[in-house]
């Protein structure tokens, strides 16, 4: 029997293979659908500050959710990995306040963002390749 780490690694490989078979249009549609479901949730409705992320290929893209949150006057922060394994939460000053970071992932430009405290986050949107209904 495979250990849990090996099982998770194999599951990720299987899911990534299935995701590669989907068209960009299908992936975008599914991302929007997932975002709409979150936008209908009470946690989203009451959240004032949301921590989101910029998706990499095959991740659910929260762009629709971010746009909805901003249109409702919510604050949207993005994580920024810092030296020595640190993490800071940045609220970009505008949509152009992102730079290409490690692995080509868009991350906030710390010089064009406001740094916020962890305690101000009401809702965290977490990237994942797959998860169960629970």
Domains of the chain as residue ranges with CATH: 4-124 (3.40.50.10420)
pLDDT, residue 56, reads: 85
Q: Give the tens place of pLDDT for each residue, 52-88.
A: 999 988 888 999 999 999 999 999 999 998 888 889 9
Q: What is the pTM of this model?
A: 0.86
pLDDT, residue 122, reads: 98
Across the range 11-25, mean pLDDT stands at 87
Asked if residues 91 and 69 have their Cβ atoms less than 8 Å apart, the reply is no
Please enumerate, as own/partner, the contacts of 87-93 that have beta carbons within 8 Å and a separation of 24 or more: 88/115, 89/51, 89/115, 89/116, 89/117, 89/118, 89/121, 90/114, 90/115, 90/116, 91/115, 91/116
67: left (phi over 0), alpha (psi -120 to 50) or beta: alpha
Q: Give the tens place of pLDDT for each residue, 87-127.
A: 999 999 988 899 988 778 899 999 999 999 999 999 999 98
pLDDT, residue 4, reads: 85
CB atoms within 10 A of CB 111: 8
Please report which confidence band the pLDDT of residue 5 belongs to, taking 50, 70 and 90 as the band edges.
confident
Please report which confidence band the pLDDT of residue 40 belongs to, taking 50, 70 and 90 as the band edges.
very high
- Mapped onto helix, strand or coil, the DSSP state of residue 21 is coil
pLDDT, residue 134, reads: 66
Query: Bridge-partner residues for 76, per DSSP?
Result: 50
Q: Residue 10: pLDDT above 70?
A: yes
Tokens 């989203």, located at residue: 44
| Cβ partners under 8 Å of residue 89, min gap 6 | 51, 77, 78, 79, 80, 115, 116, 117, 118, 121
Q: Residue 32: pLDDT above 80?
A: yes
- Mapped onto helix, strand or coil, the DSSP state of residue 115 is strand
Helix H or strand E segment including 122:
none
């Amino acid at each position: 029997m495979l250990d849990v780490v090996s099982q998770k690694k194999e599951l990720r490989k299987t899911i990534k293979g299935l995701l590669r078979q989907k068209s960009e249009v299908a992936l975008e549609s599914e991302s929007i659908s997932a975002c709409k479901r979150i936008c209908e949730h009470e946690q989203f409705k009451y959240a004032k500050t949301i921590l989101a992320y910029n998706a990499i290929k095959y991740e659910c893209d929260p762009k629709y959710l971010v746009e909805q949150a901003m249109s409702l006057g919510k604050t949207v922060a993005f994580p920024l990995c810092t030296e020595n394994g640190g993490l800071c939460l940045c609220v970009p000053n505008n949509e152009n306040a992102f730079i290409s970071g490690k692995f080509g992932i868009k991350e906030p430009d710390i010089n064009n963002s406001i740094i916020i405290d962890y305690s101000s986050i009401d809702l965290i949107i977490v990237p994942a390749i797959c998860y169960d209904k629970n």
